[in-house]
A and B are shown apart, each in its own frame.
Chain A
Amino acid sequence: MKSTFLAAPIALALAAGLAAQDRVTVFRGAQVHPISAAPIQNGVVVVAGGRIVAVGGADTKVPEGAQVVDCTGKFLTPGLVDAGTTLGVAGQDLNEQGEEVTPHLRVIDALDPTDPRLSRARRGGVTTVQVNPGNRNVVGGLGAVIKTAGDTVAEMLVQDESGLRLTMGSEPSSGNRAIRGGTPVGIYYRRPTTRMGVVWEARKAFYDAIAYQDQKTVPEGDPEMTGFDPGMEVLVRALRGEVTVRTTARAEQDIRTAIRLAEEFGYKTMVEEATEAWRVVDDLAAAGIPVLVAAPSRSDAPEGADVRYHTLNLLAKKDVPFAICTGADEGSLGLANEAMFAVRHGLPHDRALRAVTLDAARMIGVEDRVGSLAPGLEADLVIWSGDPLSPTSTAEAVYIRGQEVTP
């Protein structure tokens, strides 16, 4: 891909005298993987004002006086995108256990920019992450998309509300105890206690949301019912398709339930941590539901779900959109290494790389900002010592919005 887009804004910026962050930087000599286009040997990436202004071959026009970063012998990719994590949120802050259905909670209120796991991700070349609340509630709350560097949440923020977490299976009921006589003193005396109960809580939440919505449309509605309910507002937005429901479902039966519930209420969903997606691949393809597969390096999964190495290959073959994420176990290997395991298990290299960049960005709706290298996109770049999906490679430098970030 050759770009002649050496834009007027640069010339203007040069003329105006550049602030440090507006300096034009040229990355030269690397094997460039734009993801949205074929790899370029000895490529050139031009960055100004925190954005990419050109991506092309060695003959790409470069403004005079630009700062040149020599990347000869290196690999250059977009910053990796992890579409499913709990990074930046302390373990005890993941699950608000006062209620089972908490759609109004927002994960950004618990984000800690100094979480060392964020710098760990950054060291591994990950620049954008979806952060989710935990899986202990049936409806856990709203996630967010953030960059992995920044002093404040505001600085890091890409999307303050991204995806509503819904959890199938036994996790929301695990540890719950039914009240059988005695006094319900602990919070663990709560429902649901079974898979049926979990699904019912979800279904009831959406029934309530439909009723809430209906009441609001009645001019003389019951004031008790039409009072503002922030949780219901979120569920209504999900029903309208404005918020994607991220359904965690690992075992086959739970994935089928996830599909069924989405069809029943007509909301948009993706299946997260879909360990047994290999068993349901045709249904997922038919329903057009995207899938997030966590940590292909793992040989076991919660809920006793059966791990299979060919899961991603099968999803690719059946055209089910998917991304690879680190999931709830983000500490393990890092995203690039998880993609490496996907290649070990037979997924084509370019597809695996896409599953942790562009496809992951698409999954969380930020592909117009990050996930590939093209003019106009944010300049999140990683310079790798070698093939990013090789176990002997390291991320040597990481740039977010054109600024090199310290690991």
Chain B
Amino acid sequence: MMTRFTRPLALAVTALVAPVAAQDLVAVRAGKVLTGTGATMENAVVLIENGRITAVGSDIEVPWNAKVIDATGKIVAPTYVLAHTPGGLSGGNEMMQNVPFLTVQDSIDPSSLFFEEALRNGIGTAHVIPGNATLIGGQGMVVRPFGKTVEDMTVVDRGGIKLSLASGRGGSRMAQMRKLRNALDEAVRLRADLARKKEEFDAEKAAGAIAEDKDFEEKADKTKQPVIDLVEQKITGFLYVPSAAEVPEVARMVEKYGVRLVLVLGPRCYKAADQLRELNLPIVLDENAIEYTERDPETGEETVVCQAKILADAGIEFAIGVSESGRSAERYPWWQMATMVRHGVDPATAMRALTTVPARILGVDAEFGSIEVGKVANLQVLTGSPLAATTWVETVLLEGEVAYERSKDQRLQLLFGGSEGEK
């Protein structure tokens, strides 16, 4: 059976997932189910048919012909969703700064360690998009960290388009803003130009100067089309905002160009919490933007600021990122969530920042982000609390199929010394 995801992120995209030979019936017996919607069920069964969840509850009879996944004594949670990551790309940014025509489809490396590590850590869906060191960096796509080709991995083939307010390559903030406005102005002009030409064409056609069977065929420069799509709200801009100082420009952009934006916040945006709340745009906290050590330039004194806590207290909802680097603890979802909880964010909010909120930001919340009837069966079996350092991901199911098993994770076994480690 083919699993189809029909809610496109942006354009009318043929959303698709390569079919996996889903076994018809799968039953996960869970010690505890964290549904991701706030509900918790003890000793529950998640029933999966053709890759979708058909029943969740403690009074469900397991059909005789179902493949049973035993997670008794363990915790079953939805797999995590990353709303924004430059992971898995060979080179997150093109040297050229204004490259809206690029797409990560040409850069995603299915054998990248990032995807392997993502799956190992319970990430089931990721919006891969160019990095922040850019002006207009190109287009992203939503993938699952499983598959041998980009096509195998594709969930939504056209994600958002990357924009950045961080002055890259040694430029100044004012230059960056000017350049971004110029690019958007140009798109607006091109669009108007095209509309005018179409109008003229139609008038000429009506006057009989153009044959009846001819249609208006002129198209905008392909390299500019994605920005035109942006000002036409056919694609969502994922705008990196490095600090509070750039937030007013965000408001201007929204007002002047009417673009649809998701804000990817850097670590120094918390001072604009009030403005951010007023803007009411979807927010992703970049991997390093949850907790931030601020140093007073005068006294040298350091203060640890938890931006996630400040935003949560201001009533702002957000998704969070994880690091694409294999070196830092920030690559672990448990560490990222625990960092927020350590600063007083409630655990349910922390969990939502990697499940339902990013799913909504990506427009795939009808499919992913929680364990509910009708949703795609992307589940992870955890050995303990999702916030504990001692918890490991035991099994990952993507679309009802086992995509990861810790007992068969050779790299992890090697890190534990393989058979030597048992001695």
Contact = CB atoms under 8 A, between A and B. Distances in A.
A307 B415 contact: yes
Contacts of A174: none
Task: Across the A-B interface, give the 10 residue pairs with the lowest CB-CB distance, nearest first.
Answer: A391-B338, A310-B417, A310-B421, A392-B341, A309-B415, A344-B389, A340-B389, A392-B338, A392-B342, A310-B416
Contact of A390 (B326, B328, B388): B388
Interface of A: 114, 116, 119-120, 123, 278, 297-300, 307-310, 313-314, 332-333, 337, 340-341, 343-346, 389-394
B390 A344 contact: yes
Nearest to B117: A299
Given A278-B417, A309-B416, A391-B389, A297 B341 contact: no
5 contacts: A297-B329, A344-B390, A345-B416, A389-B389, A390-B388
Contact of A341 (B293, B389, B421): B389
B1 interface: no
A233 B334 CA distance: 51
B102 interface: no
B270 to A, nearest CB: 19
Contacts of B302: 116, 119-120
Given A116-B300, A278-B417, A309-B416, A393 B389 contact: no
A298 B327 contact: yes
B300 A114 contact: yes
A299 B417 contact: no
B389 A308 contact: no
B415 A314 contact: no
Contacts of A389: 389
A131 B73 CA distance: 45
**Interface SS of A by simple majority:** loop
Nearest to B422: A310
B417 A314 contact: yes
A284 to B, nearest CB: 16
B68 interface: no
A275 B390 CA distance: 22
Given A116-B302, A340-B389, A391 B335 contact: yes
A346 to B, nearest CB: 8
Contact of A391 (B342, B417, B421): B342
A313 B423 CA distance: 11
B403 interface: no
Interface in B3-22: none
A307 B341 CA distance: 29
Contacts of B339: 391
A114 B299 CA distance: 10
Interface in B309-341: 326-329, 334-335, 338-339, 341
B272 interface: no
B304 interface: yes
Contacts of B326: 299-300
Interface in B288-305: 293, 295, 300-302, 304
A332 B331 CA distance: 13
A308 B415 contact: yes
A300 B304 CA distance: 27
A337 B334 CA distance: 13
A297 B415 CA distance: 12
B244 interface: no
A298 B295 CA distance: 25
Contacts of B295: 116
Contacts of A390: 338, 388-389
B41 interface: no
Contacts of B281: none
> Which among B338, B339, B389 has the highest number of chain A CB atoms within 10 Å?
B389
A89 to B, nearest CB: 16
